[in-house]
Amino acid sequence: MPDQEQSRSRRHIYAEMTRHEVVRSARKLFGRYGYAQTTVESIARDARVSPATVYAQCGGKEGLLQALMDKWTTSSLVQSIIAECAAAESARAKLDALAKGYVAIYAESGDIIQIVTRAAACAPAAEAFLKVADERQQNALREIVTGMRDVGGLADGITVEEGVQIIFFHFRYAQFALAADEFGWGAERTTRWLTERVASAILRS
């Protein structure tokens, strides 16, 4: 029995390693060539597995895109940001922690966000994944903004839902990348500007 358990454990480890390599290859090729132009065969070739393995381990291109979206929206980093915001004592401290968190997420998963967003324009499955990603982000923001309200930090007349919408609008990756990269502001100036805009819109002065 122990030998059988060890054998199952080795197979599990090998399967996880294989899946990791396939997801890594998909991330690279989707980013380089686009979701629509990348084939399962090219992903398999890059990961050094068979196309059948890509389907069996990862569900083909759609399964790989979902895996990337999950990596972006459910990583340990996301949970640590929510925890840091919860631990902050003032509404402004919560907002500052959130802004810092956005920068970290974009550094870790900015390429994935672009992959999913661009794919959504041509693939219904990708459009559905992007909707799930937006819903997950807004649910996390709802928890954080509720914390701002509970410490008395929201401006008069600003509801939790309005706070969520304002943060979601300002800190979307497209806006952040436009200012940081295309305008040449860099991440620090962009974060500072966006944070002040949001603070003036939703926080008690």
Smallest CA-to-CA distance from 59 within 35, 38, 40, 33 is with 40
CATH number at residue 188: 1.10.357
Are the beta carbons of 8 and 50 closer than 8 angstroms? Answer: no
Let me know whether 22 and 90 are in one domain.
no
Residue 45: C-alpha distances to residues 13, 22, 168, 194 (Å):
21, 10, 38, 42
The residue type of 98 is L
Rounded (10°) angle between helices 91-120 and 2-33 = 80
Contact by Cβ (8 Å): 64, 125: no
Nearest in space to 140 (alpha carbons), one of 72, 190, 89, 203: 72
Q: How do residues 63-88 score in pLDDT, each as one tens digit?
A: 999 999 999 999 999 999 999 999 99
Average pLDDT of span 147-156: 98
Residue ending a domain, among 58, 84, 102, is: 58
Domain carrying residue 27: 2-58
State mean pLDDT over 20-37: 97
For the stretch 121-139, pLDDT in tens is 999 999 999 999 999 999 9
Closest CA to 9 of 56, 58, 1, 59: 1
Q: Residues 50, 103: one domain?
A: no
- The DSSP secondary structure of 51-102, one letter per residue, reads HHHHHHHH-HHHHHHHHHHHHHHSSHHHHHHHHHHHH-SSHHHHHHHHHHHH
Q: Count H helices, E strands: the chain?
A: 10, 0
174-75-29 Cα angle (round to 5)? 60
pTM for the full predicted model: 0.90
- The verdict on 53 and 74 lying in the same domain is no
Q: Is 154 helix (H, G, I), strand (E, B) or coil?
A: strand
- In this structure, the answer to whether residues 174 and 78 fall within a common structural domain is yes
Would you say residue 1 has pLDDT above 60?
no
- pLDDT > 90: what percent of the chain? 91
Domain count, the chain: 2
d(CA 2, CA 156): 64
Question: At which of 36, 58, 80 does a domain end?
Answer: 58
Q: How far apart are the first and last CA of the chain?
A: 67
109 domain-assigned: yes
